[in-house]
C-alpha cells in the first residue's frame, strides 16, 4: 500500500476523527446556534428600525466565520501539546499527509458547510421572526453574493480566501505551539504584520528617495522632487499581479505545507 | 528485529544516552529495568519513532522509526505510562481503531477483556484508570503487532489484574513477536521476561538472559556472615540474610528480580565481570 496516501486509510482516519470528537462537535454546533440566536435576539430588541437587514446578517456571518473558524483550527492539533494524546495521534498507522489532509477536510470543508448551514438555519428563523413581529420586511441575505458586500470592494470569494489564509496560520499555530495555540498565534500574527509594515513602510522609506506609494499593490512609487518634476517609478504590472495572487491564493497552501513539515518533525 | 546502533539522545541540554548499542530479537519478552529518569521511557519512545535520536541509528523491522510510515506503525504498538483513550464505547473503539491494524484479532480482544473482567459493551469514559489500561493492553495484544512496547504496564493494576496481565502476556507471545516492558516494579515481571536489560545513567549496566543469570548467580539465604560478606549483595529479611552470590555448585536457584536489580545497581562491575569471564 502507498505509504504517502491511501484512500482507504484516509477514510478510516476521517471516521476515527469523527468517532473521537463527535460529542464535542455536536455540542459546539449547538452552542454556536445558541450564541447566534442570542445575538440576533439582542439585535431585534435593541434595533427597532431594521434589525435584520442585509449588513447585520453579512457582518454576523463573516465575524463569526473568522472567530469560530480560527478558534477551531487552533484547536485541531492541540492534542500534540499533551504527551498522552500526542502519542495516540502520532502512532495511528496513517501517513502524516493523510493526517494533515484529514485536518483540512474538517477545518476547511466540513467546517464551512456546517457553519454556513447552522448560520442559515438561525438566519431563516430570525428573519421570519423579525418579519412577523416587527413588521419590517427583511430578506435572508446571500452572504456569498459579492455584489452586495459593501464593506469590501473586492468579492466575497476574496474574503473567503483571506479567511483560509488566516485559518491556515491558526492551524499551523496548533501544530507549532504546545499550549495556548490560539492566543500565541494571534500574538505571532500581530508581530509578523507589525514587522512586515515596518519593513515595507519604514525600511523602504529609509532606503527610497522621498515620496509615497501610489495606487496598486506597492508597485508604483512617486518620487517627490518639487511637485512639477516628480517621477513615478513603476514595477511591471505582472509583479503586482503575482504579489496579489500570492497573498490571495498561495499563503494558505504554503502554510499547510509548513504544517506538514512541522508535523513530520513533531516529537512527544 | 530492533537494532540500536550508537544511539545518542538528549532533552535539550540534558543528555540521556550517549553511544547506546542494543539488539532485541523476536520471540522474547525483554525487561527494561532502571531507576526513575534513567532513560527507559525515552528508549521506548525512540524505538516507537516518537523521539528523534541526536546521533546513531535505530532500525525496527527494517524501518527507521522516526519516518513513522504507516507500514511501520501497523507493526509497532506502544502502551505508554500516560495514555489517552477517547470517550467512546468499547465496541466503537474497536470499530474505528482496529481497521488500522491489518492483523487485528477481534476474538482475541474479546478473550483478553474477558480475562480482565471488563464488560465488552462498556464506555471508556466511565472506566477507572486501571480498567482503561486493561482495555489498552488487550487492544495492544490483539493488534498482533510484531513489536510491543510497554511502559510501566502494571502501574494502576490491582493484584488480581497483575496476575491476569502476566497470564495473557505469556499467551500472546509467539516466535514473531518482540515484547519490551519497561518497569521499576520488577516483581510484576517475574516468570514472564526472558532477558533483562538494566539501564543506568543512559548506559547499559547489564544485559543478560534469564537462563544465563540462573546459571551464574545464586539467590539464596546466606550460610553465615562470612558468606554474606563475600556475596555480590545481601540484605536482611525476617528469616535470615538473603544474598546474590556466584553460583558455584551449579544448582539453579529461583531468580529474584528485585534482588538481582539491587545487586547490579550496587555491585554491577563485579557481576558483569562474572558474566564475561
CA neighbours within 13 Å on the CB side: how many for A260? 15
Assess contact for A80 and A86: CB atoms under 8 A. yes
Element (H, E) at B136: helix B129-142
Residue A154: pLDDT above 50?
A: no
- Interface residue A88 vs chain B (CB under 8 A): yes
Q: Considering only CB atoms, which residues of chain B are within 8 Å of chain A?
A: 45, 48-52, 68-71, 73-74, 76-78, 80, 82-88, 92, 95-97, 99-101
Of A218, A99, A16, A150, the C-alpha closest to B97 is A16
Tell me which chain B residues have a C-beta less than 8 angstroms from the C-beta of A87.
48, 50, 78, 80, 83-84
- pLDDT for A149: 46
Mutation for B interface: A6, A19, A93, A266, most B CBs within 10 A: A93
pLDDT band of A218, cuts 50, 70, 90: low
Residue A3 and residue B84: Cβ atoms within 8 Å?
no
For A252-263, the pLDDT digits (tens) are 999 999 999 999
For residue B220, report the phi and psi dihedrals to the nearest 5 degrees.
Answer: -155, 180
- pLDDT for A160: 83
> Which among B45, B69, B76 is the nearest to A268, CB-wise?
B45
Cell of A237: 504590472
Mutation for A interface: B84, B102, B132, B144, most A CBs within 10 A: B84
Residue A20 and residue B88: Cβ atoms within 8 Å?
yes
pLDDT band of A172, cuts 50, 70, 90: very high
Element (H, E) at B78: strand B76-79
Cell of B138: 488487550
pLDDT band of A8, cuts 50, 70, 90: very high
Percent of chain A topping pLDDT 70? 93
Tell me which chain A residues have a C-beta less than 8 angstroms from the C-beta of B124.
none
Q: Give the strand order in the sheet containing B55-60.
A: B14-24, B2-11, B55-60
Q: How far does A92 lie from chain B, in Å, by closest CA? A: 7
How far lies B64's CA from each of A72, B42, B47, in Å?
Answer: 34, 16, 9
- Interface residue A85 vs chain B (CB under 8 A): yes
Which ranges of chain B have pLDDT less than 50?
Answer: none
Nearest CA in chain A to B74: A93
pLDDT band of A217, cuts 50, 70, 90: low
- Interface residue A24 vs chain B (CB under 8 A): no
CA distance A51 to A55: 10
Q: How far does B86 lie from chain A, in Å, by closest CA? A: 6
Q: Give the strand order in the sheet containing B217-221.
A: B217-221, B240-246, B233-237
* pTM of the full structure: 0.88
The DSSP code for A199 is I
pLDDT band of A152, cuts 50, 70, 90: very low
- The set of residues, in sequence order, having a beta carbon less than 8 Å from that of A66 and lying 6+ positions away, is A163, A166
Amino acid at each position: 500500500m502507498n505509504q504517502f496516501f491511501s484512500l482507504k486509510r484516509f477514510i478510516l482516519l476521517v471516521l476515527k476523527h469523527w468517532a473521537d470528537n463527535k460529542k464535542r462537535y455536536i455540542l459546539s454546533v449547538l452552542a454556536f446556534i445558541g450564541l447566534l440566536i442570542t445575538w440576533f435576539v439582542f439585535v431585534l430588541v435593541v434595533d427597532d428600525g431594521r434589525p435584520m437587514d442585509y449588513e447585520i446578517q453579512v457582518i454576523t456571518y463573516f465575524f463569526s466565520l473568522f472567530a469560530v473558524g480560527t478558534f477551531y483550527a487552533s484547536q485541531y492539533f492541540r492534542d500534540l501539546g499533551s504527551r498522552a494524546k500526542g502519542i495516540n495521534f502520532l502512532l495511528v498507522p496513517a501517513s502524516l499527509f493523510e493526517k494533515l489532509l484529514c485536518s483540512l477536510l474538517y477545518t476547511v470543508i466540513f467546517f464551512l458547510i456546517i457553519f454556513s448551514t447552522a448560520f442559515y438555519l438561525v438566519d431563516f428563523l430570525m428573519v421570519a421572526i423579525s418579519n412577523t413581529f416587527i413588521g419590517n420586511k427583511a430578506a435572508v441575505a446571500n452572504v456569498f453574493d459579492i455584489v452586495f458586500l459593501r464593506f469590501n470592494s473586492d468579492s466575497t470569494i476574496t474574503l473567503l480566501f483571506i479567511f483560509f489564509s488566516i485559518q491556515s496560520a491558526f492551524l499551523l499555530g496548533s501544530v507549532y505551539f504546545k499550549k495556548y495555540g490560539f492566543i500565541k498565534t494571534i500574538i505571532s500574527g500581530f508581530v509578523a504584520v507589525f514587522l512586515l509594515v515596518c519593513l515595507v513602510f519604514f525600511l523602504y522609506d529609509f532606503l527610497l528617495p522621498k515620496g509615497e506609494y501610489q495606487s496598486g499593490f506597492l508597485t508604483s512609487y512617486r518620487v517627490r522632487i518639487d511637485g512639477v518634476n516628480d517621477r513615478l517609478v513603476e514595477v511591471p504590472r505582472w509583479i503586482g499581479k503575482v504579489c496579489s495572487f500570492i497573498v490571495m491564493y498561495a499563503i494558505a497552501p504554503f502554510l499547510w505545507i509548513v504544517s506538514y513539515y512541522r508535523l513530520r518533525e513533531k516529537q512527544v | 528485529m530492533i537494532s540500536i546502533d550508537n544511539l545518542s539522545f538528549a532533552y535539550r541540554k540534558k543528555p540521556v544516552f550517549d553511544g547506546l548499542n542494543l539488539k532485541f530479537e523476536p520471540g522474547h519478552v525483554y525487561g527494561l529495568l532502571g531507576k526513575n529518569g534513567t532513560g527507559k521511557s525515552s528508549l521506548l519512545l525512540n524505538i516507537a519513532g516518537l523521539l528523534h535520536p541526536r546521533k546513531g541509528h535505530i532500525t525496527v523491522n527494517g524501518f527507521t522509526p522516526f519516518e513513522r510510515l504507516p507500514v511501520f506503525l501497523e507493526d509497532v504498538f506502544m502502551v505508554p505510562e500516560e495514555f489517552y483513550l477517547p470517550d467512546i464505547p468499547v465496541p466503537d473503539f474497536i470499530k474505528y481503531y482496529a481497521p488500522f491494524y491489518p492483523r487485528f484479532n477481534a476474538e482475541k480482544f474479546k478473550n483478553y477483556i474477558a480475562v480482565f473482567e471488563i464488560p465488552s459493551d462498556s464506555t471508556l469514559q466511565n472506566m477507572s484508570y486501571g480498567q482503561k489500561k486493561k482495555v489498552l493492553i488487550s487492544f495492544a495484544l490483539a493488534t498482533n503487532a510484531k513489536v510491543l512496547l510497554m511502559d510501566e504496564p502494571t502501574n494502576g493494576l490491582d493484584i488480581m489484574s497483575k496476575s491476569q496481565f502476566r497470564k495473557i502476556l505469556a499467551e500472546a507471545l509467539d516466535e514473531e513477536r518482540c515484547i519490551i516492558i519497561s518497569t521499576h516494579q520488577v516483581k510484576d515481571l517475574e516468570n514472564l521476561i526472558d532477558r533483562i536489560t538494566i539501564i543506568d545513567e543512559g548506559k547499559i549496566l547489564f544485559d543478560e538472559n534469564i537462563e544465563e543469570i540462573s546459571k551464574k548467580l545464586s539467590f539464596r539465604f546466606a550460610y553465615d556472615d562470612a558468606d554474606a560478606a563475600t556475596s555480590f549483595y545481601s540484605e536482611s529479611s525476617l528469616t535470615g540474610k538473603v544474598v546474590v552470590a556466584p553460583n558455584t555448585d551449579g544448582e539453579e536457584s529461583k531468580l529474584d528480580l528485585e534482588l538481582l536489580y539491587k545487586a547490579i545497581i550496587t555491585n554491577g562491575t563485579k557481576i558483569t565481570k562474572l558474566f564475561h569471564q
